[in-house]
Each structure stands twice: as C-alpha cells, then as structure tokens.
Chains A and B, each alone.
Chain A
Amino acid sequence: DAGVIQSPRHEVTEMGQEVTLRCKPISGHDYLFWYRQTMMRGLELLIYFNNNVPIDDSGMPEDRFSAKMPNASFSTLKIQPSEPRDSAVYFCASSWTGASPLHFGNGTRLTVT
C-alpha cells in the first residue's frame, strides 16, 4: 500500500495563475478530505467527498477554490486565480469509512508570489 499520494510536493507560482493540486487516495477508501495548514490558522478542513460526491464544502475559503473527484482514485483542488494569501501546505487524506482513521498524504507546499 503506497498510502495517499499527492503531487506536486512543491509548487511555486505567481499571483493570478491557476494552480492544480492532485491526490490519489488509498484504494478502497470511500472518503476523501482536503485540508490546508498555515502557521496562523493551523489545519483546516476545506472539503470532503464520499463515494466521489462532495458532501461538505463549507470550509472552502472562496469561489476561487474548487475541488473535483472524477473517480474513486483521483481528486483535484484548483485555485484560480491564486493569491499570495493562498500560500500554505495542502493535505489530502482518505479513510475507509466515515468513522475510520484518516490517512494523510505528505502534502503540497504552495507558494504564491
């Protein structure tokens, strides 16, 4: 089991550019979560999916952020246009059931200049 795989590990982009973060959950896990971590706000839940369907996106900061899960093995988090305040580490996590422990990827460190 390779665990949750995120790409890229690091992303540096200029303000106004589109950014796409990718996640491959653990095979067989029905839940997928996107978190963001900053020094000021810690770890925040942005959105989560159950069986590829978005269930709760109340944590998505604004309309510039969007997430999709076209199939059970792939999800994307897109920021368009990006802003410097979006700089953070973005984590993807998956779990087998809603009550199972979460397995996190190693995150994508995003820097927007």
Chain B
Amino acid sequence: DAKTTQPTSMDCAEGRAANLPCNHSTISGNEYVYWYRQIHSQGPQYIIHGLKNNETNEMASLIITEDRKSSTLILPHATLRDTAVYYCIVRVPLIQGAQKLVFGQGTRLTINP
C-alpha cells in the first residue's frame, strides 16, 4: 500500500491561498490520490481526488506532479471555517472495487484572522 507523508501542522492567513503538500513516492500507476478534511467534532468530509491530471472543484484544486510522487491541495481563499485536519490518502484497491481509505495523521491547518 502506498503511504503518504504530510506536515504535521500548517498556518495560513485568512483570505490567502493555503497550499497543503503530500508526498506519496511509492504510489502505483492505478492508485488515486484523495483528500479529505475533518473539522473538529465532525466526520471526515470529502474534498477532491485525482489520478494524474490536475483537478478543480468548488472547494479546492489538486495539483499532482508529473511523476505522481507528490501532490498539493490548494484552498484558494482560506476562511476561518477551513481550519481542520486535512488527510491525503492513496486509495487501496480492494475486492469488489470498494475503496479502502487508510487515514494517516494528516495536516492540522489553522487559518488565522
């Protein structure tokens, strides 16, 4: 199973772009990169995922390097409500196609006013 490495914590000023890095140097060719976040006292929330192309949705952008060994989640205009633990996960394929998400320790992102 490909493992991920993320910084333990990061700070970002409100209104600025928050760039969260993730290393996954052992990722396989058919494994996707997923990002989830967990706001205090809530369940994890899906943000975005990608295979090798950059992806963007209403919440964030995902930039994956050409060699796929690392990625960056970008929150373009961070707000106080974006304070959370952010998890970078490589999907482990399972029988019957269900994704087994293995959560690491994540990055604790604090948005400062």
Residues of A within 8 A of B (CB): 4, 31, 42-45, 48, 50, 55-56, 91, 93, 95, 97-99, 101-107
**DSSP class of A's interface residues: helix, strand, loop or mixed?**
strand
Chain A residues with CB under 8 Å of B45's CB are: 104
Distance, CA A39 to CA B95, complexed state (A): 29
Q: In the bound complex, do residue B46 and residue A103 qualify as a contact, i.e. CB atoms below 8 Å apart?
A: yes
- B68 touches A (CB below 8 Å): no
Cα of A43 to Cα of B49 in the assembled complex, Å = 19
Interface residues of B in 40-94 (CB under 8 A from A): 41-46, 49, 94
Secondary structure at the B interface, as helix, strand, loop or mixed, is: loop
* Known interface pairs A98-B96, A98-B98, A101-B49; A42-B42 also in contact (CB < 8 Å): no
Q: How far is the CA of A48 from the CA of B101 in the complex (A)?
A: 11
B97 touches A97 (CB 8 A): yes
Q: How far is the CB of B55 from chain A (nearest CB, A)?
A: 13
State whether the Cβ of B16 lies closer than 8 Å to any Cβ in chain A. no
- Whether a CB of chain A sits under 8 angstroms from the CB of B26 is no
